[in-house]
Amino acid sequence: MASDPVYEATCTAPVNIAVVKYWGKRDTTLILPTNSSLSVTLSQDHLRSLTSARCITTTSNNSNANAVADRLWLNGHEEEIQQGGRTHRCLAELRQMRKDLESRDSSLPKLTDFALHIASENNFPTAAGLASSASGLSALIATISTLYALLPENGVSVSDLSRVARQGSGSACRSMFGGYVAWDMGTRDDGHDSVAVEVAPASHWPDLHALILVVSDKKKGTPSTAGMQRTVATSDLLKHRIDHVVPARMDRISTAIRNRDFDQFAIETMADSNQFHAVCLDTQPPIFYLNDVSRAVIQLVAELNRASVDAGKGYLAAYTYDAGPNAVLYVRERDVKLVLELVLRYFPQQTFDDPFHLGPEPAAASSFVQGFNAAVIPEHEVGAVARIIHTKVGDGPRVLSSDESLLNGEGMPKSLV
Amino acid sequence: MASDPVYEATCTAPVNIAVVKYWGKRDTTLILPTNSSLSVTLSQDHLRSLTSARCITTTSNNSNANAVADRLWLNGHEEEIQQGGRTHRCLAELRQMRKDLESRDSSLPKLTDFALHIASENNFPTAAGLASSASGLSALIATISTLYALLPENGVSVSDLSRVARQGSGSACRSMFGGYVAWDMGTRDDGHDSVAVEVAPASHWPDLHALILVVSDKKKGTPSTAGMQRTVATSDLLKHRIDHVVPARMDRISTAIRNRDFDQFAIETMADSNQFHAVCLDTQPPIFYLNDVSRAVIQLVAELNRASVDAGKGYLAAYTYDAGPNAVLYVRERDVKLVLELVLRYFPQQTFDDPFHLGPEPAAASSFVQGFNAAVIPEHEVGAVARIIHTKVGDGPRVLSSDESLLNGEGMPKSLV
């Protein structure tokens, strides 16, 4: 007796870190932003969400085969898929796209008849302070679109999938591509043109590294979803940013990426991070994400760049901060050891995971950059920066083999907490 | 034998703390600002600069009676009056005004023939972190204008004198008046219409108290003179603030003051402080004046106001921050003990100078404001706020008797360091 066919897929998706920040929704249900944004996709070798999804084709455990009772496990915990919630709406949209496919090609299995079991895990701890929603949602969309064969050859582009991801978690749409990714805000009320597009693949400018400085903060900041709408409601400066600053910056930074012009990339990245935190501060009451350690990192990088630019060597690093105190430093491969050694001097670490085998050691800044003012910030205590994650630009979602599935033979998570 | 007449005057002048901030010059020599500003003058009973000036009429020590060799002592140290510097230009302008007076009325003594000896002292330590340039310059102008009889009855208004003070130290012009004072930016290139005007005297709204929370900071921030021009040069948001935010805010806060409308006054004051620090952050590289303790004070006041507004009792306090980490809280007299007790709980003090004899004790916030979230910020250690200065709105420069002079019979400072 032949066993039932198994319809299952497993994918990973990456984290992305914006260099032109998304802050403000013009439609909170469809998640339509008030400005376009642009990000760098980080390598899944170091940071990724892994998701498996399976169509539950056996009906023995289910009295009503047509009832779609999807189930979801995040990091081994089952989560309720709330009716009308964001995950629910993403799944409904993907099912509709599959239904369209099935109605056009009757030879396809009717996967939309079956419930889905979905398991997802992140390989980075929540304590890392990294937003997992973008990679998590992106992995969900990548996995189910793979399962449902929602592929370019079937008329579904990655940008089409990014539209679905956007409705799950705004910036997740940018994690559907590798490399350098723009989220066009679009103009339509239905959000059809508010999608991610590739500015350049990782292979175009592969030597951009990222150092994530995980900064301890006693206090959890304002959640970004609530914070951004408070800014929309109360900041006089946000409108100017949206109308007069971001459009030109999107053009300039896209050009910088196409030209692999690190100086211009760094200038725009730092200015946009500063302006994002400025509009947070212009919110009533103000929203603070940067703390004294974040400030010190900014001052260190600013002084490093000043000395390097004065010495005719251009910019060495670009900082950017999302809605939290963690710094992300973008650095070219040729400079990454220098910047690491500088960071390790001012923010010493008990241990440093060294994935690129550079063997960095805390070192005197004066040995690298002439004219650097070593007194720009004090040397901090161990723990001020809790952890440094070293990674680089990477590709988009990956399809893995069934060996990597998070689900067992019965379609249940292999590891349940 | 009759002794030579003594031409001497002694005045004090107050500190002022802006509620609509001055940040940016359109002319750095004349000190013409890019936007109008508005401040509250603080009582000279607690904070003041005291200045004495004397015409050195005896020529025995001076081989050339016509040589004007002015001398200046600040807090007992002699300071050079640099040719073409700001103090020099202020003195030259006052001399010209006196000369005009003398040429119109030949009975007046020819004071412009004599050199000036000027001694000035502040009654607050530099360690208090308060800008002394406004009160110091204002005291200088008040004293010499008194000595020279540059008075309304002689055709010289206080606004005329504020024009001179402005050229010495921009915001000093606002310390020429008591109460609530606007500095109109003016439109003329020569700065003739860039002067201070009284919005309302202290007597109009006398019960506004000020609590100055002196916040320790390891690092001296960017000097305001350099910082503001970096903002002018690099901030995309400053122009929007100047053109579209400040003019309407000047109108609204002036109306609030005339109506003694504390809620509106508080809303505008806090929003303007936040926006000033936002444009500092939008500067490349960014300028930070607020530190983690400053942030905590903002969060405390925001939560106090939220609870009070929710309870239908309106705003209790308004914070504002100049170019440093110190908070100034404006509070009505009826609420000042409550706010002090709240501040003392979260920022405990070894000693508190209690000039209004309120006897405040650190107290539980819940006892005052229903619904206040006592966990909004942690209780800090002694020293986080180094000192609390309690004062209130006050009058303009005062003329003192010769008993208070800082100069001795020979026209030299009584106390030399």
pLDDT single digits (tens) B195-223? 999 999 999 999 999 999 999 776 677 88
pLDDT at A28: 95
CATH number at residue A361: 3.30.70.890
Q: Are residues A213 and A302 in the same domain?
A: yes
Q: What's the DSSP call for residue B271?
A: H
Q: Is B211 exposed, middle or buried (0-12, 13-18, 19+ CB in 10 A)?
A: buried
Assign A62 a pLDDT band (cuts: 50, 70, 90): very low
Looking at the complex, does the CB of residue B298 fall below 8 Å from at least one CB of chain A? Answer: yes
Residue A305 inside a domain? The answer is yes
Looking at the complex, does the CB of residue A292 fall below 8 Å from at least one CB of chain B? Answer: yes
Assign B364 a pLDDT band (cuts: 50, 70, 90): confident
For A281, the closest of B274, B283, B299 (CB atoms) is B274
Percentage of chain B beyond pLDDT 90 is 88
**pLDDT above 70 (res B316):** yes
DSSP-derived secondary structure for A339-368: HHHHHHHHS--S----TT--------GGGT
pLDDT at B367: 74
CA nearest neighbour of A135 among A46, A253, A31, A23 = A46
Looking at the complex, does the CB of residue B267 fall below 8 Å from at least one CB of chain A? Answer: yes
Which residue do the tokens 């004495």 mark?
Answer: B52
User: What is the rounded average pLDDT of the residues A342-362?
Assistant: 95
Residue B47 or residue B417, greater confidence? B47
Partners of residue B270 in chain A, C-beta under 8 Å: 284-285
**pLDDT above 50 (res A301):** yes
For A302, the closest of B285, B298, B299 (CB atoms) is B285
CATH number at residue A69: 3.30.230.10
Residue A322 inside a domain? The answer is yes
Provide the ipTM: 0.91
What is the distance in angstroms between the Cα of B124 and the nearest Cα belonging to chain A?
28
Q: How far, rounded to the nearest angstrom, does the alpha carbon of residue B139 sit from its chain's CA centroid?
A: 11
The H or E element that residue A56 is part of is: strand A48-56
**pLDDT above 60 (res A337):** yes
Q: Are residues A249 and A176 in the same domain?
A: no
Partners of residue A288 in chain B, C-beta under 8 Å: 295, 298-299
Q: Are residues A77 and A114 in the same domain?
A: yes
Looking at the complex, does the CB of residue B110 fall below 8 Å from at least one CB of chain A? Answer: no
Please indicate whether, in this complex, the C-beta atoms of A298 and B284 are within 8 angstroms of each other.
Answer: no
User: What is the rounded average pLDDT of the residues A34-60?
Assistant: 92
Distance of CA A299 to CAs A294, B232, B290, Å?
Answer: 9, 20, 14
Partners of residue A304 in chain B, C-beta under 8 Å: none
**pLDDT above 90 (res B245):** yes
pLDDT at B127: 54
Assign A202 a pLDDT band (cuts: 50, 70, 90): very high
**pLDDT above 50 (res A65):** no
Q: Are residues A256 and A198 in the same domain?
A: no
Question: Within a 13 Å sphere around the CA of A297, how many CA atoms are in the beta-carbon half?
Answer: 31
Partners of residue A378 in chain B, C-beta under 8 Å: 218
Going by C-beta distance under 8 Å and a sequence separation of 6 or more, which residues neighbour residue B365? B304, B342, B345, B372, B374
Q: Are residues A323 and A374 in the same domain?
A: yes
Return the residue of A nearest to B217 by Cα. A292
Looking at the complex, does the CB of residue B384 fall below 8 Å from at least one CB of chain A? Answer: no
- Of A113-117, B126-130, B135-139, B291-295, where does mean pLDDT reach its minimum? B126-130
**pLDDT above 60 (res A63):** no
Distance of CA A324 to CAs A25, A213, A342, Å?
Answer: 19, 11, 22
pLDDT at B130: 72
Q: What angle do CA B85, B90, B92 make, to 5 degrees?
A: 95
- Of A151-165, B65-79, B178-192, B334-348, where does mean pLDDT reach its minimum? B65-79
Residue B413 inside a domain? The answer is no
Q: Are residues B280 and B315 in the same domain?
A: yes
Q: Are residues B117 and B163 in the same domain?
A: yes
Please indicate whether, in this complex, the C-beta atoms of A288 and B274 are within 8 angstroms of each other.
Answer: no
A225 vs A168: CA distance, rounded Å? 13
Looking at the complex, does the CB of residue A220 fall below 8 Å from at least one CB of chain B? Answer: no
Q: Are residues B278 and B162 in the same domain?
A: no
Residue B411 inside a domain? The answer is no
pLDDT at B222: 85
Q: Are residues A115 and A148 in the same domain?
A: yes
**pLDDT above 50 (res B188):** yes
Partners of residue B286 in chain A, C-beta under 8 Å: 274, 298, 302
Which residue do the tokens 């009654």 mark?
Answer: B123
Q: Are A308 and B315 in contact (CB under 8 A)?
A: no
Question: A345: how many CB neighbours lie within 10 A of its CB?
Answer: 18
CA nearest neighbour of A332 among A251, A211, A215 = A211
- Of A383-392, B59-68, B82-91, B371-380, where does mean pLDDT reach its minimum? B59-68
Per-residue pLDDT tens digits for B104-147: 999 999 999 999 999 999 988 765 567 678 999 999 999 999 99
Q: Where are the beta strands (DSSP E) in A66-129?
A: 71-74, 77-79, 115-122
Q: Are residues B327 and B371 in the same domain?
A: yes
Distance of CA A379 to CAs A250, A297, A306, A342, A391, Å?
Answer: 36, 11, 19, 10, 24
Question: A227: how many CB neighbours lie within 10 A of its CB?
Answer: 18
User: What is the rounded average pLDDT of the residues B355-379?
Assistant: 89
A vs B, Cβ pairs < 8 A, gives: 87
pLDDT at B212: 96
Rg (CA), chain A: 22
pLDDT at B274: 98
Residue A417 inside a domain? The answer is no
Return the residue of B nearest to A288 by Cα. B295
Residue B335 inside a domain? The answer is yes
Looking at the complex, does the CB of residue B320 fall below 8 Å from at least one CB of chain A? Answer: no
Instruction: Using DSSP bridges, classify how beta strands B16-20 and B37-41 pair: parallel, antiparallel or unpaired.
Output: antiparallel
Per-residue pLDDT tens digits for B271-287: 999 999 999 999 999 99
pLDDT at B95: 97
Looking at the complex, does the CB of residue B284 fall below 8 Å from at least one CB of chain A? Answer: yes
**pLDDT above 80 (res B330):** yes
Assign B91 a pLDDT band (cuts: 50, 70, 90): very high
Looking at the structure of chain B, the number of domains it has is 2
Q: Which residues form the domain of B151? A: 8-205+398-404
**pLDDT above 80 (res B75):** yes
Partners of residue A295 in chain B, C-beta under 8 Å: 288, 291
Helices A158-168, A86-104: inter-axial angle, 10-degree rounding: 150
Which residue do the tokens 């040429």 mark?
Answer: B103
Please indicate whether, in this complex, the C-beta atoms of A282 and B284 are within 8 angstroms of each other.
Answer: no
B251 vs B96: CA distance, rounded Å? 35
Per-residue pLDDT tens digits for B399-413: 999 999 999 999 999
Looking at the complex, does the CB of residue A282 fall below 8 Å from at least one CB of chain B? Answer: yes
Per-residue pLDDT tens digits for A212-232: 999 977 667 788 889 999 999
Please indicate whether, in this complex, the C-beta atoms of B282 and A278 are within 8 angstroms of each other.
Answer: yes
Q: Produce one character per residue of B390-402: b if its CB has 16 or more CB atoms within 10 Å, e if not.
A: bbbbbbbbbebee
What is the distance in angstroms between the Cα of A283 and the nearest Cα belonging to chain B?
8
Q: Are residues A162 and A62 in the same domain?
A: yes
Please indicate whether, in this complex, the C-beta atoms of A218 and B302 are within 8 angstroms of each other.
Answer: no
Residue A414 inside a domain? The answer is no
**pLDDT above 60 (res B167):** yes
Q: Are residues B190 and B220 in the same domain?
A: no
**pLDDT above 70 (res B61):** no
Please indicate whether, in this complex, the C-beta atoms of B278 and A278 are within 8 angstroms of each other.
Answer: yes
Return the residue of A nearest to B267 by Cα. A284
Residue B166 inside a domain? The answer is yes
Q: What's the DSSP call for residue A251?
A: H
**pLDDT above 80 (res A300):** yes
CA nearest neighbour of A395 among A198, A254, A149, A211 = A198
Q: Where are the beta strands (DSSP E) in A94-238?
A: 115-122, 180-183, 196-200, 208-215
